[in-house]
Amino acid sequence: MTRKRLIAGNWKMHGSFAESRQLVAALRDGVGAEDRALMLLCPPYVYLNAVRDWLQGSNIALGAQDLSDRSGTGAFTGEVSGAMLRDLGCTHVIVGHSERRALYDESDAVVASKFKAAQQAGLIPVLCVGETLEQREAGHTQATVQRQVAAVIDAAGVAAFGKAVIAYEPVWAIGTGRTATPEQAEEVHALIRAMIAERDATIASGLPILYGGSVKGANARSLFAMKDIDGGLVGGASLVATEFLEIFRAGI
Ligand code: PEP
């Protein structure tokens, strides 16, 4: 099956209102009606509404970096629900980013709840998984990624992956300039796809699996050439229009 590439930008907690506007304008100029790839921008919550307006009429999609694990409404100060993100025009939401797991203690169970909350709201979750350097050096890469993916399969069922994206992001490659080689990444991507295929081959063959971790214009093409790599989740390089557009063009 040919899977459409997804090139997603995670802005994290970067940029001002004015900088965000400039970035969106430059990206809009560089993205036409592409069949082969979709560009997705995930700005901070507070800029979502403005970015939605700036993206009107473009082919660029909008996503969020996180969401509450609670559905509906309620007394959850500071939380943002999936329904609110849908309301603002988001189609996707990142869940389980390694920074959320490490800095905000998000367990596999919380990540699974967020994944389910996203789908209940009609959003496509971009589920991030990946091992730390210590886990890799101890030979625990496969076990770590399998545990993270299994937690969501157990909670949401394999059918839920018919409307989801997985991003393999080795923690040691995020923001470090140390990218996984295409072969290292492909090995884990193939493992993830096989895990899903064991349960449902059709869902596995349609599932987009992105690579994230120091993706740049210079290395994107060789990563995206691998059989099971369907695009990228890009942090730092997504804040520089020329660089992010080069990555996007590597995907089309
Ligand atoms: C990320 O934020 O998910 C990421 C992969 O960051 P970077 O591209 O900067 O490594």
**Which atom of ligand 1 is the closest one to the Cα of 232?**
5
Contact 145, 130 (CB under 8 A): yes
Q: Is the pLDDT of residue 39 over 80?
A: yes
**Which atom of ligand 1 is the closest one to the Cα of 236?**
9
Considering only the C-alpha atoms of the chain, give the largest distance between any 2 of them, rounded to a whole number of Å.
49
Q: Is the pLDDT of residue 13 over 80?
A: yes
Ligand 1, atom 4, lies closest to the CA of 235
pLDDT for res 33: 86
Cα-to-centroid distance, 239 and ligand 1 (Å): 11
Average pLDDT over residues 28-33: 92
pLDDT for res 35: 82
For 102-157, write each residue's pLDDT tens digit.
999 999 999 999 999 999 999 999 999 999 999 999 999 999 999 999 999 999 99
Cα-to-centroid distance, 86 and ligand 1 (Å): 24
For 190-240, write each residue's pLDDT tens digit.
999 999 999 999 999 999 999 999 999 999 999 999 999 999 999 999 999
Catalytic residue flag (residue 140): no
Cα-to-centroid distance, 221 and ligand 1 (Å): 17
Q: Is the pLDDT of residue 1 over 80?
A: no
User: What's the mean per-residue pLDDT of the chain?
Assistant: 97
Q: Is 74 helix (H, G, I), strand (E, B) or coil?
A: coil
Ligand 1, atom 8, lies closest to the CA of 235
pLDDT for res 2: 83
Q: Kindly report the pTM of this predicted structure.
A: 0.98
Give the whole-angstrom CA distance, residue 173 versus residue 131. 10
What are the respective helix, strand and coil percentages of the chain, to the nearest 5?
A: 50, 15, 35
* Set 92, 97, 106, 186: catalytic member: 97
Q: Which of 30-34, 120-124, 183-187 has the lowest mean pLDDT?
A: 30-34
**Which atom of ligand 1 is the closest one to the Cα of 212?**
5
Share of the chain above pLDDT 70, in %: 100
Average pLDDT over residues 155-176: 98
The number of helix segments (H) and strand segments (E) in the chain equals: 11, 8
* Set 169, 186, 189, 243: catalytic member: 169
Residues with CB under 6 A from ligand 1: 10, 12, 169, 174-175, 212-215, 233-237
pLDDT for res 34: 80
CB burial string 16-34: b at 16+ within 10 A, e below: eeeebbebbeebbeebeeb
**Which atom of ligand 1 is the closest one to the Cα of 12?**
2
Catalytic residue flag (residue 97): yes
The confidence band for 16, taking pLDDT boundaries of 50, 70 and 90, is very high
